[in-house]
Chains A and B, each alone.
Chain A
Amino acid sequence: MKKLFLLFLLLPLLARSQSRGFQFKGKPAVIGLELAQNLPPYIIPDQYRVRKTVIVEPSIGFNTRDRKWTMITVGYAQGYIDENQPKPLTTERFEGGYAKLSFETQHTDARFLRIAYGPQLSMYSINGAYTFEGPTFGDYTGHFQEFIFVPGAHVALIIDTAIGRKFRIRLSGQITTGIKLGENVKTLYTPGFGFTPGYGRLAGGINGGIHLFYNLR
Protein backbone atom coordinates (compact mmCIF):
# COMPACT_ATOMS: atom_id res chain seq x y z
CA MET A 1 0.00 0.00 0.00
CA LYS A 2 2.83 2.34 0.96
CA LYS A 3 4.63 1.49 -2.26
CA LEU A 4 1.56 2.40 -4.26
CA PHE A 5 1.22 5.63 -2.38
CA LEU A 6 4.80 6.64 -3.11
CA LEU A 7 4.49 5.71 -6.74
CA PHE A 8 1.45 7.93 -6.80
CA LEU A 9 3.56 10.75 -5.36
CA LEU A 10 6.26 10.31 -7.97
CA LEU A 11 3.90 10.11 -10.93
CA PRO A 12 3.17 13.85 -11.23
CA LEU A 13 6.90 14.48 -11.34
CA LEU A 14 7.29 12.12 -14.26
CA ALA A 15 4.16 13.41 -15.97
CA ARG A 16 5.38 16.98 -15.69
CA SER A 17 8.65 16.18 -17.34
CA GLN A 18 6.78 14.41 -20.12
CA SER A 19 4.67 17.44 -20.92
CA ARG A 20 7.76 19.62 -20.99
CA GLY A 21 9.22 17.64 -23.82
CA PHE A 22 10.83 14.65 -22.23
CA GLN A 23 11.96 12.99 -25.40
CA PHE A 24 15.26 11.49 -26.42
CA LYS A 25 16.43 13.25 -29.56
CA GLY A 26 18.27 10.58 -31.42
CA LYS A 27 21.53 9.39 -29.96
CA PRO A 28 22.55 9.95 -26.35
CA ALA A 29 24.69 13.03 -25.75
CA VAL A 30 26.98 11.84 -22.97
CA ILE A 31 28.02 8.75 -21.08
CA GLY A 32 29.63 8.92 -17.68
CA LEU A 33 31.00 7.09 -14.69
CA GLU A 34 31.07 8.02 -11.03
CA LEU A 35 34.59 8.14 -9.61
CA ALA A 36 34.43 9.22 -5.97
CA GLN A 37 32.10 6.91 -4.08
CA ASN A 38 34.67 4.17 -3.61
CA LEU A 39 37.31 6.50 -2.23
CA PRO A 40 36.12 7.58 1.27
CA PRO A 41 36.65 4.13 2.87
CA TYR A 42 40.30 4.36 1.86
CA ILE A 43 40.96 8.11 2.31
CA ILE A 44 39.09 8.69 5.59
CA PRO A 45 38.64 5.18 7.03
CA ASP A 46 38.19 6.46 10.59
CA GLN A 47 35.44 8.92 9.76
CA TYR A 48 33.67 6.85 7.13
CA ARG A 49 31.81 3.86 8.45
CA VAL A 50 31.16 1.97 5.23
CA ARG A 51 33.93 -0.48 4.34
CA LYS A 52 35.08 -2.52 1.37
CA THR A 53 32.75 -0.81 -1.03
CA VAL A 54 32.41 -1.70 -4.67
CA ILE A 55 30.20 0.93 -6.25
CA VAL A 56 29.77 1.16 -10.01
CA GLU A 57 27.57 3.95 -11.28
CA PRO A 58 27.37 4.52 -15.02
CA SER A 59 25.03 7.07 -16.51
CA ILE A 60 23.76 8.13 -19.89
CA GLY A 61 22.52 11.59 -20.76
CA PHE A 62 20.21 12.98 -23.40
CA ASN A 63 20.03 16.60 -24.52
CA THR A 64 16.27 16.98 -24.53
CA ARG A 65 15.99 20.72 -25.16
CA ASP A 66 18.19 23.80 -25.12
CA ARG A 67 20.07 23.78 -21.81
CA LYS A 68 18.07 20.79 -20.59
CA TRP A 69 19.27 17.26 -20.14
CA THR A 70 17.79 14.04 -18.92
CA MET A 71 20.24 11.74 -17.17
CA ILE A 72 19.58 8.09 -16.52
CA THR A 73 21.85 6.55 -13.91
CA VAL A 74 22.02 3.00 -12.67
CA GLY A 75 24.23 1.78 -9.90
CA TYR A 76 25.47 -1.35 -8.25
CA ALA A 77 26.78 -1.20 -4.72
CA GLN A 78 28.14 -3.66 -2.24
CA GLY A 79 29.92 -3.05 1.01
CA TYR A 80 30.18 -3.65 4.67
CA ILE A 81 29.30 -1.68 7.81
CA ASP A 82 30.55 -2.23 11.34
CA GLU A 83 28.53 -0.34 13.86
CA ASN A 84 29.15 -0.48 17.58
CA GLN A 85 27.87 2.91 18.66
CA PRO A 86 25.45 2.58 20.29
CA LYS A 87 25.38 -1.05 21.38
CA PRO A 88 25.13 -3.78 20.25
CA LEU A 89 27.87 -4.41 17.72
CA THR A 90 26.07 -4.76 14.40
CA THR A 91 27.58 -5.74 11.09
CA GLU A 92 25.74 -5.33 7.82
CA ARG A 93 26.79 -6.62 4.46
CA PHE A 94 24.76 -4.92 1.75
CA GLU A 95 24.40 -5.61 -1.94
CA GLY A 96 22.00 -4.05 -4.34
CA GLY A 97 21.18 -1.76 -7.18
CA TYR A 98 19.63 1.61 -7.76
CA ALA A 99 18.32 3.76 -10.57
CA LYS A 100 18.04 7.52 -10.88
CA LEU A 101 16.25 9.72 -13.33
CA SER A 102 17.58 13.25 -13.26
CA PHE A 103 16.33 16.37 -15.00
CA GLU A 104 19.12 18.88 -15.42
CA THR A 105 18.82 22.55 -16.18
CA GLN A 106 21.81 24.69 -17.07
CA HIS A 107 22.09 28.05 -15.41
CA THR A 108 21.52 30.90 -17.90
CA ASP A 109 24.31 33.18 -16.68
CA ALA A 110 26.76 30.73 -15.20
CA ARG A 111 26.86 27.96 -17.78
CA PHE A 112 29.10 25.69 -15.73
CA LEU A 113 26.36 25.45 -13.11
CA ARG A 114 23.46 23.04 -13.35
CA ILE A 115 20.58 22.15 -11.10
CA ALA A 116 19.12 18.67 -11.23
CA TYR A 117 16.25 16.86 -9.59
CA GLY A 118 14.35 13.66 -10.06
CA PRO A 119 13.07 10.40 -8.63
CA GLN A 120 15.25 7.51 -7.65
CA LEU A 121 14.81 3.94 -6.49
CA SER A 122 17.01 1.58 -4.54
CA MET A 123 16.66 -2.13 -3.94
CA TYR A 124 19.14 -4.05 -1.88
CA SER A 125 19.59 -6.97 0.43
CA ILE A 126 21.29 -7.10 3.79
CA ASN A 127 23.07 -9.96 5.47
CA GLY A 128 23.87 -8.98 8.99
CA ALA A 129 24.76 -10.01 12.49
CA TYR A 130 24.42 -8.43 15.90
CA THR A 131 26.31 -9.32 19.05
CA PHE A 132 25.14 -8.69 22.57
CA GLU A 133 27.99 -8.68 25.02
CA GLY A 134 27.71 -11.34 27.67
CA PRO A 135 30.51 -10.58 30.08
CA THR A 136 29.48 -13.43 32.38
CA PHE A 137 27.94 -16.15 30.24
CA GLY A 138 29.40 -15.32 26.84
CA ASP A 139 28.38 -13.11 23.90
CA TYR A 140 25.21 -13.84 21.98
CA THR A 141 25.26 -13.40 18.22
CA GLY A 142 22.13 -13.36 16.09
CA HIS A 143 21.81 -13.15 12.32
CA PHE A 144 19.37 -11.34 10.09
CA GLN A 145 18.51 -11.01 6.44
CA GLU A 146 16.48 -8.27 4.86
CA PHE A 147 15.37 -7.09 1.49
CA ILE A 148 14.77 -3.36 1.38
CA PHE A 149 13.06 -1.23 -1.22
CA VAL A 150 13.56 2.55 -1.10
CA PRO A 151 11.68 4.97 -3.35
CA GLY A 152 12.78 8.57 -3.09
CA ALA A 153 14.03 11.69 -4.79
CA HIS A 154 17.11 13.88 -5.11
CA VAL A 155 18.06 17.49 -5.74
CA ALA A 156 21.60 18.26 -6.91
CA LEU A 157 23.87 21.19 -7.59
CA ILE A 158 26.32 20.45 -10.37
CA ILE A 159 29.52 22.13 -11.49
CA ASP A 160 30.83 20.98 -14.86
CA THR A 161 34.34 21.56 -16.16
CA ALA A 162 35.26 20.68 -19.71
CA ILE A 163 38.52 18.81 -20.27
CA GLY A 164 39.31 19.15 -23.93
CA ARG A 165 36.53 18.66 -26.46
CA LYS A 166 35.48 15.19 -25.48
CA PHE A 167 35.63 14.97 -21.70
CA ARG A 168 33.91 16.66 -18.84
CA ILE A 169 34.48 16.44 -15.08
CA ARG A 170 31.49 16.98 -12.87
CA LEU A 171 31.47 17.86 -9.21
CA SER A 172 28.09 17.47 -7.61
CA GLY A 173 26.49 17.83 -4.24
CA GLN A 174 23.12 16.28 -3.70
CA ILE A 175 20.43 15.95 -1.11
CA THR A 176 18.63 12.63 -1.22
CA THR A 177 15.61 11.49 0.65
CA GLY A 178 13.64 8.29 0.60
CA ILE A 179 11.61 5.93 2.68
CA LYS A 180 12.83 2.43 3.55
CA LEU A 181 10.16 -0.16 2.92
CA GLY A 182 11.80 -3.15 4.53
CA GLU A 183 10.31 -5.77 6.78
CA ASN A 184 12.07 -5.06 10.04
CA VAL A 185 15.59 -3.79 9.97
CA LYS A 186 16.29 -0.26 8.85
CA THR A 187 19.85 -0.24 7.68
CA LEU A 188 22.34 2.58 8.02
CA TYR A 189 23.56 2.73 4.45
CA THR A 190 21.27 2.85 1.44
CA PRO A 191 22.87 2.37 -1.99
CA GLY A 192 22.25 5.47 -4.07
CA PHE A 193 21.05 7.46 -1.05
CA GLY A 194 24.08 7.34 1.20
CA PHE A 195 24.60 6.99 4.90
CA THR A 196 21.77 7.84 7.26
CA PRO A 197 22.40 7.81 10.98
CA GLY A 198 19.56 6.51 13.10
CA TYR A 199 17.17 3.60 13.01
CA GLY A 200 14.07 5.11 11.46
CA ARG A 201 12.41 4.65 8.10
CA LEU A 202 13.96 7.68 6.42
CA ALA A 203 16.91 7.22 4.11
CA GLY A 204 19.15 9.86 2.71
CA GLY A 205 21.38 12.75 3.47
CA ILE A 206 23.85 15.06 1.83
CA ASN A 207 26.54 13.53 -0.34
CA GLY A 208 28.93 14.48 -3.07
CA GLY A 209 30.14 12.91 -6.26
CA ILE A 210 32.70 13.22 -9.02
CA HIS A 211 31.73 12.09 -12.51
CA LEU A 212 33.73 11.75 -15.68
CA PHE A 213 31.68 12.27 -18.82
CA TYR A 214 32.45 11.54 -22.42
CA ASN A 215 30.68 13.63 -25.04
CA LEU A 216 29.25 11.43 -27.75
CA ARG A 217 28.57 14.29 -30.14
Chain B
Amino acid sequence: MKLFLLTLLAGIIFASCYDCGPQQELTFDLSVSSYPDTIPVLKKVYSKNGVDTIDLSDKIPPYYIGTNTSLSLPLTLHENQTTYFFEFENRRDSLTVFYERKFYYDNHCGFVADVSTSKNPPRATGTFTNVRVTSKPYVGGEDANGILKSYYGGISVGVEL
Protein backbone atom coordinates (compact mmCIF):
# COMPACT_ATOMS: atom_id res chain seq x y z
CA MET B 1 0.00 0.00 0.00
CA LYS B 2 2.83 2.38 0.90
CA LEU B 3 4.58 1.55 -2.34
CA PHE B 4 1.37 2.19 -4.25
CA LEU B 5 0.92 5.61 -2.62
CA LEU B 6 4.55 6.51 -3.30
CA THR B 7 4.17 5.52 -6.95
CA LEU B 8 1.01 7.61 -7.18
CA LEU B 9 2.75 10.58 -5.58
CA ALA B 10 5.75 10.22 -7.88
CA GLY B 11 3.36 10.09 -10.83
CA ILE B 12 1.70 13.32 -9.77
CA ILE B 13 5.05 15.05 -9.24
CA PHE B 14 6.44 13.94 -12.59
CA ALA B 15 3.22 14.80 -14.37
CA SER B 16 3.43 18.33 -13.02
CA CYS B 17 6.97 18.67 -14.43
CA TYR B 18 5.74 17.96 -17.92
CA ASP B 19 5.51 20.93 -20.26
CA CYS B 20 2.69 20.59 -22.78
CA GLY B 21 3.76 23.65 -24.73
CA PRO B 22 1.33 26.41 -25.67
CA GLN B 23 -1.18 24.01 -27.34
CA GLN B 24 -2.11 26.90 -29.58
CA GLU B 25 -0.21 29.22 -31.93
CA LEU B 26 3.48 28.97 -31.07
CA THR B 27 5.59 32.03 -30.45
CA PHE B 28 9.31 32.67 -30.75
CA ASP B 29 11.49 35.10 -28.87
CA LEU B 30 13.28 37.69 -30.95
CA SER B 31 16.19 39.49 -29.40
CA VAL B 32 17.39 42.60 -31.24
CA SER B 33 20.78 44.03 -30.38
CA SER B 34 22.75 46.91 -31.79
CA TYR B 35 25.99 47.11 -29.90
CA PRO B 36 27.56 49.62 -29.35
CA ASP B 37 24.85 51.89 -30.87
CA THR B 38 21.38 52.19 -29.44
CA ILE B 39 18.54 50.57 -31.35
CA PRO B 40 16.62 53.01 -33.55
CA VAL B 41 12.91 53.42 -32.76
CA LEU B 42 10.97 50.41 -34.04
CA LYS B 43 7.80 51.89 -35.52
CA LYS B 44 6.01 48.94 -37.02
CA VAL B 45 6.13 45.14 -37.06
CA TYR B 46 4.01 43.26 -39.54
CA SER B 47 3.63 39.91 -41.25
CA LYS B 48 1.68 38.60 -44.23
CA ASN B 49 -1.00 35.99 -44.33
CA GLY B 50 -1.40 35.48 -48.05
CA VAL B 51 -2.08 38.96 -49.35
CA ASP B 52 -3.34 40.28 -46.01
CA THR B 53 -1.01 42.31 -43.87
CA ILE B 54 -1.11 41.49 -40.18
CA ASP B 55 -0.01 44.35 -37.99
CA LEU B 56 1.82 43.15 -34.90
CA SER B 57 3.09 46.51 -33.72
CA ASP B 58 1.36 45.92 -30.40
CA LYS B 59 4.06 43.30 -29.70
CA ILE B 60 6.70 46.04 -29.54
CA PRO B 61 7.66 46.44 -25.88
CA PRO B 62 6.97 49.90 -24.51
CA TYR B 63 10.50 50.33 -23.18
CA TYR B 64 13.29 49.21 -25.40
CA ILE B 65 15.66 52.15 -25.53
CA GLY B 66 19.21 50.90 -25.27
CA THR B 67 21.31 48.33 -27.03
CA ASN B 68 19.12 45.29 -26.59
CA THR B 69 15.42 44.51 -26.72
CA SER B 70 13.27 41.45 -27.09
CA LEU B 71 9.87 40.70 -28.61
CA SER B 72 7.66 37.65 -28.54
CA LEU B 73 6.10 36.99 -31.94
CA PRO B 74 3.69 34.28 -33.15
CA LEU B 75 4.51 31.61 -35.72
CA THR B 76 1.88 30.47 -38.20
CA LEU B 77 0.63 26.91 -37.79
CA HIS B 78 -0.32 26.70 -41.47
CA GLU B 79 3.16 26.82 -42.96
CA ASN B 80 6.68 25.78 -42.06
CA GLN B 81 7.90 29.37 -42.18
CA THR B 82 6.83 32.79 -40.98
CA THR B 83 8.12 36.08 -42.35
CA TYR B 84 8.23 39.35 -40.46
CA PHE B 85 8.90 42.89 -41.58
CA PHE B 86 10.32 45.52 -39.27
CA GLU B 87 10.14 49.26 -39.87
CA PHE B 88 12.67 51.15 -37.83
CA GLU B 89 12.85 54.93 -38.01
CA ASN B 90 15.88 54.75 -40.29
CA ARG B 91 15.85 51.23 -41.81
CA ARG B 92 13.66 48.36 -42.87
CA ASP B 93 14.38 44.70 -42.24
CA SER B 94 12.81 41.34 -42.87
CA LEU B 95 13.20 38.04 -41.06
CA THR B 96 11.98 34.59 -42.05
CA VAL B 97 11.93 31.82 -39.46
CA PHE B 98 11.92 28.23 -40.76
CA TYR B 99 10.68 25.28 -38.77
CA GLU B 100 9.01 21.94 -39.25
CA ARG B 101 5.57 21.68 -37.66
CA LYS B 102 4.58 18.61 -35.69
CA PHE B 103 1.10 17.92 -34.42
CA TYR B 104 0.74 14.75 -32.41
CA TYR B 105 -0.90 13.07 -29.49
CA ASP B 106 1.00 13.06 -26.24
CA ASN B 107 0.01 10.75 -23.39
CA HIS B 108 0.42 13.54 -20.83
CA CYS B 109 -1.22 16.39 -22.70
CA GLY B 110 -3.54 15.18 -25.44
CA PHE B 111 -2.82 16.91 -28.76
CA VAL B 112 0.19 19.16 -28.87
CA ALA B 113 1.74 21.55 -31.38
CA ASP B 114 5.50 21.46 -31.61
CA VAL B 115 8.36 21.96 -34.02
CA SER B 116 10.77 19.27 -35.02
CA THR B 117 14.38 19.81 -34.18
CA SER B 118 15.83 16.48 -35.18
CA LYS B 119 15.36 16.28 -38.93
CA ASN B 120 15.27 19.85 -40.08
CA PRO B 121 16.54 22.21 -37.40
CA PRO B 122 14.76 25.57 -37.39
CA ARG B 123 16.79 28.37 -38.77
CA ALA B 124 16.16 31.88 -39.92
CA THR B 125 17.26 34.25 -42.62
CA GLY B 126 16.89 38.00 -42.87
CA THR B 127 18.37 41.30 -43.79
CA PHE B 128 19.92 41.80 -40.38
CA THR B 129 23.70 41.79 -39.96
CA ASN B 130 23.75 38.62 -37.98
CA VAL B 131 20.98 36.05 -37.36
CA ARG B 132 21.39 33.33 -34.76
CA VAL B 133 18.83 30.69 -33.89
CA THR B 134 18.53 28.37 -30.94
CA SER B 135 15.72 25.88 -30.74
CA LYS B 136 14.28 23.48 -28.22
CA PRO B 137 11.04 21.49 -28.44
CA TYR B 138 8.01 23.32 -27.10
CA VAL B 139 6.72 20.10 -25.58
CA GLY B 140 8.93 18.82 -22.83
CA GLY B 141 9.19 15.19 -21.94
CA GLU B 142 11.82 13.00 -20.42
CA ASP B 143 14.64 11.32 -22.27
CA ALA B 144 15.59 7.66 -21.79
CA ASN B 145 17.42 8.52 -18.55
CA GLY B 146 14.39 10.24 -17.04
CA ILE B 147 15.88 13.70 -17.42
CA LEU B 148 13.60 16.45 -18.66
CA LYS B 149 14.50 17.23 -22.25
CA SER B 150 13.24 20.74 -22.22
CA TYR B 151 11.33 23.05 -20.05
CA TYR B 152 10.32 26.46 -21.25
CA GLY B 153 11.49 25.44 -24.70
CA GLY B 154 10.93 27.00 -28.07
CA ILE B 155 12.66 28.94 -30.81
CA SER B 156 14.81 31.94 -29.98
CA VAL B 157 16.23 34.21 -32.67
CA GLY B 158 18.91 36.75 -32.03
CA VAL B 159 19.58 39.48 -34.59
CA GLU B 160 22.07 42.30 -34.81
CA LEU B 161 21.41 45.55 -36.60
> B69-100 vs A: 1/0 string, CB under 8 Å?
00000111110001000000000000000000
| Chain A residues within 8 Å of B104, by CB | 184
A132–B139 alpha-carbon span in the complex (Å): 14
Does A132 lie within 8 Å of B107, measured CB to CB? no
Chain A residue nearest to B73 in the complex (CB): A136
Does A140 lie within 8 Å of B113, measured CB to CB? yes
The secondary structure that dominates the A interface is loop
Does B24 lie within 8 Å of A133, measured CB to CB? yes
| Shortest distance between the CB of A150 and any CB in chain B (Å) | 16
Does A140 lie within 8 Å of B77, measured CB to CB? yes
User: A186 contacts the other chain (Cβ, under 8 Å)?
Assistant: yes
User: A21 contacts the other chain (Cβ, under 8 Å)?
Assistant: no
Contact count band on A: 20 to 34
Task: Count A/B pairs, Cβ under 8 Å.
Answer: 75
Does B24 lie within 8 Å of A200, measured CB to CB? no
User: B56 contacts the other chain (Cβ, under 8 Å)?
Assistant: yes
Does A132 lie within 8 Å of B54, measured CB to CB? no
Chain B residue nearest to A183 in the complex (CB): B105
Chain B residue nearest to A184 in the complex (CB): B105
User: B49 contacts the other chain (Cβ, under 8 Å)?
Assistant: yes
User: B110 contacts the other chain (Cβ, under 8 Å)?
Assistant: yes
> A113-145 vs B: 1/0 string, CB under 8 Å?
000000000000000001011111111101010
User: A26 contacts the other chain (Cβ, under 8 Å)?
Assistant: no
Give the B-binding residues of A (Cβ under 8 A): 86-88, 90, 130, 132-140, 142, 144, 184-186, 199-201
Mind listing 27 A-B residue pairs with CB under 8 Å? Answer: A86-B20, A86-B23, A86-B109, A88-B23, A88-B110, A130-B110, A130-B111, A132-B103, A134-B24, A134-B25, A134-B74, A135-B24, A135-B25, A136-B47, A136-B54, A136-B56, A137-B76, A137-B77, A137-B82, A138-B76, A139-B77, A140-B77, A142-B103, A142-B111, A184-B104, A199-B110, A200-B107
Give the A-binding residues of B (Cβ under 8 A): 20, 23-25, 47, 49, 54, 56, 74-78, 82, 103-111, 113
